[in-house]
C-alpha cells in the first residue's frame, strides 16, 4: 500500500480536511456519510484524511475509501501532532474553500451554512461555535466548562474576542493560506492560533452556532491535555505578540 493517496477529482470547490487518529470504529461510516451527503447537495469536493501513526486499521480503511470514492485522499503526517496533521492537510487542499472537520462530527449542515456565507463574500472565515447563543452542545458538562475556560484564557492571554476556536471552521483558502504559514504553535493550539491570527490580521471572521453531537467520546482524556495546552498557549502569547514573527 502506498503511504499516500491523493483525491482523483479535478479542481474541487470545497476541500474538507479531517485529522484522524485511531478511528477504525467510525472512519468508514463517517466518510461514506459525508461523501454521500455532499454528493447529494451537488457540491464539487475532496476529502483529505490527515492521519498520523494510527495503531489500528485507520490507514487500511482510509486507503480502501480512497479507492471507492475519487473525492477521498489520505496521507500520514510523520509526527504525532494533531495541529501538524491539520496544517499539512490544509496545505494539500486545492479547493477555493476549506472546511476543517472532525471525524466524530462531520456536520454537513454546518458546511452548507458556512459555504453560503463564504460564497456570498460575507466572511473570509466561518467558525462553528459550540458556546455562542443558539449553539447546542450535547457533550458532558466537564467538556462544556473546559471550552468556556479555554476561551476565557484566550480572551485574557491574546484578547480573542470570539466564543470558540477549536473544532468546525470553514474559510476561503486564498486569504487564509498565508496565515496558516505564519502559525508556529503545534498540537491542539494550532487551531486557536489560526483563528486568533485571522482576527488580528483583519480578516472577516464570523461565528455561527452549531449543534454538537459526537459519534463517540473523545479519545484523549480532558485532564491529560491540560498541561500541554497551557504550554502551547504561553507559546501562542509570545508568537502573536511578536517574539516569534507576526
Ligand atoms: N492526525 C491526528 N488526528 C487526531 C489526533 N488526535 C485526535 N485527532 C482527530 O481529531 C478529531 C477530534 O478528536 P476528538 O478525539 O473527537 O477530540 P475533541 O476535539 O476534543 O472532540 C478527530 O477526527 C480525531 O480523529 C492526532 O494526534 N493526530
Ligand atoms: Mg470529538
CATH code of residue 123: 3.90.550.10
Q: How far is the CA of 201 from the centre of ligand 1 (A)?
A: 27
Res. 3: pLDDT tops 90: no
Q: Specify the pLDDT at position 132.
A: 97
Q: State if residue 74 touches ligand 1 by the CB under 6 angstroms criterion.
A: no
Domain count, the chain: 1
Please indicate, yes or no, if residue 184 is contained in any of the structural domains.
yes
Helix then strand count (H, E) for the chain reads 8, 10
Please indicate, yes or no, if residue 245 is contained in any of the structural domains.
no
Atom of ligand 1 nearest to the CA of 80: 27
Pick the ligand that lies closest to the CA of residue 84.
1
Q: State if residue 186 touches ligand 1 by the CB under 6 angstroms criterion.
A: no
3-state secondary structure of 98: strand
Please indicate, yes or no, if residue 119 is contained in any of the structural domains.
yes
| Mean pLDDT value across the chain | 95
Q: Which domain holds residue 60?
A: 4-240
Please indicate, yes or no, if residue 92 is contained in any of the structural domains.
yes
Q: Edge-to-edge strands of the sheet including 97-100?
A: 4-5, 72-76, 45-51, 14-20, 97-100, 169-172, 125-129, 205-209
Please indicate, yes or no, if residue 55 is contained in any of the structural domains.
yes
Q: Specify the pLDDT at position 48.
A: 98
Task: State pLDDT tens for residues 88-99.
Answer: 999 999 999 999
> By alpha-carbon position, which residue is closest to atom 25 of ligand 1?
20
Please indicate, yes or no, if residue 246 is contained in any of the structural domains.
no
Could you give the percent of the chain with pLDDT greater than 70? 98
Instruction: At 241, list the grid cell.
Output: 505578540
Q: How far, in Å, CA of 49 to CA of 31, rounded?
A: 9
Q: How far, in Å, CA of 190 to CA of 80, rounded?
A: 14
Please indicate, yes or no, if residue 162 is contained in any of the structural domains.
yes
Please indicate, yes or no, if residue 40 is contained in any of the structural domains.
yes
Atom of ligand 1 nearest to the CA of 225: 20
Amino acid at each position: 500500500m502506498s503511504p499516500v493517496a491523493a483525491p482523483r477529482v479535478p479542481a474541487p470547490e470545497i476541500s474538507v480536511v479531517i485529522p484522524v487518529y485511531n478511528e477504525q470504529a467510525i472512519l468508514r461510516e463517517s466518510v461514506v456519510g459525508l461523501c454521500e451527503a455532499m454528493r447529494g447537495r451537488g457540491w464539487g469536493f475532496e476529502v483529505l484524511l490527515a492521519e498520523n501513526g494510527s495503531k489500528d486499521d485507520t490507514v487500511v480503511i482510509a486507503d480502501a475509501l480512497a479507492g471507492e470514492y475519487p473525492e477521498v485522499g489520505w496521507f500520514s503526517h510523520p509526527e504525532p501532532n494533531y495541529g501538524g496533521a491539520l496544517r499539512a492537510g490544509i496545505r494539500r487542499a486545492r479547493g477555493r474553500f476549506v472546511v476543517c472537520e472532525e471525524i466524530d462530527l462531520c456536520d454537513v449542515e454546518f458546511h452548507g451554512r458556512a459555504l453560503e456565507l463564504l460564497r456570498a463574500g460575507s466572511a473570509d472565515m466561518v467558525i462553528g461555535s459550540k458556546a455562542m447563543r443558539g449553539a447546542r452542545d450535547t457533550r458532558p458538562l466537564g467538556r462544556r466548562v473546559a471550552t468556556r475556560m479555554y476561551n476565557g484564557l484566550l480572551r485574557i492571554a491574546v484578547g480573542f474576542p470570539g466564543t470558540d476556536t477549536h473544532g468546525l471552521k470553514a474559510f476561503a483558502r486564498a486569504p487564509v493560506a498565508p496565515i496558516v504559514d505564519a502559525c508556529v504553535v503545534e498540537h491542539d493550539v494550532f487551531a486557536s492560533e489560526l483563528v486568533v491570527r485571522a482576527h488580528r490580521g483583519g480578516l472577516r471572521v464570523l461565528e455561527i452556532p452549531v449543534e454538537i453531537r459526537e459519534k463517540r467520546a473523545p479519545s484523549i482524556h480532558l485532564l491529560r491535555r491540560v498541561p500541554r495546552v497551557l504550554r502551547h498557549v504561553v507559546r501562542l502569547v509570545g508568537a502573536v505578540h511578536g517574539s516569534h514573527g507576526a
